[in-house]
Amino acid sequence: MEQNKSSDVVWHHATVTRERRQALNGHRSVMLWFTGLSGAGKSTLAHSVEEHLYQLGCRTFTFDGDNVRHGLCSDLGFSAEDRVENIRRVGEMAKLFLEAGVIALTAFISPFRSDREKVRSLVPHGEFMEIYCRCTLEVCEERDVKGLYKRARAGEIKNFTGISSPYEEPVDPELVVDTGALSLEDSVSMVVEFLRDRGVIKRGNH
């Protein structure tokens, strides 16, 4: 982790704490990190889980890979170095949302284990929850919802994960969702039940 370039930067401790925000919201704030190949259904699942949580009265926000690259990370490309920086920025931003008492959902390929582990290290144990959207390359290519695999196979896109750049599967994720076989409804139910089991949301009034 890079050190601040200025020694005059001091963290300010607010009187409205994360604990007070969580109490107001009625749920814990955690980081749900959806990872998987392009076309595995990360964004679809993350946004659908968010919709379900919203209906339950939860405070949420989804960081979508494409959306973030339109703003916060618009200056980054897809080289290995830029991918590392992209995930670092998202991790730091999501960490701030945890302080706000929000359930932060992120949908990023995040192909490198080391990058995901760096984000995990930003927050206390149990607050980073890696959700592996498991889907074979063959199924992802069949879907090819954005036409990216076709372009990557044609050599039009360099450093494309699964084709010309590696994807490192999670070794011990908190949850594996077989998005290549399960319906979206069943996938959402699986994630929500997982959150109940982990005590993020309450069983009674949720």
Catalytic residues: 110
| 187 within 8 A of 177, measured Cβ to Cβ | yes
55 token code pair = 């209906």
Q: Which residues contact 121 (CB under 8 A, 6 or more apart)?
A: none
**In a 3-state reduction of DSSP, which class is residue 185?**
helix
Query: How many angstroms separate the CA atoms of 189 and 27, rounded?
Result: 18
Nearest alpha carbon to residue 150 among 140, 19, 2, 59: 140
Query: How many angstroms separate the CA atoms of 105 and 181, rounded?
Result: 22
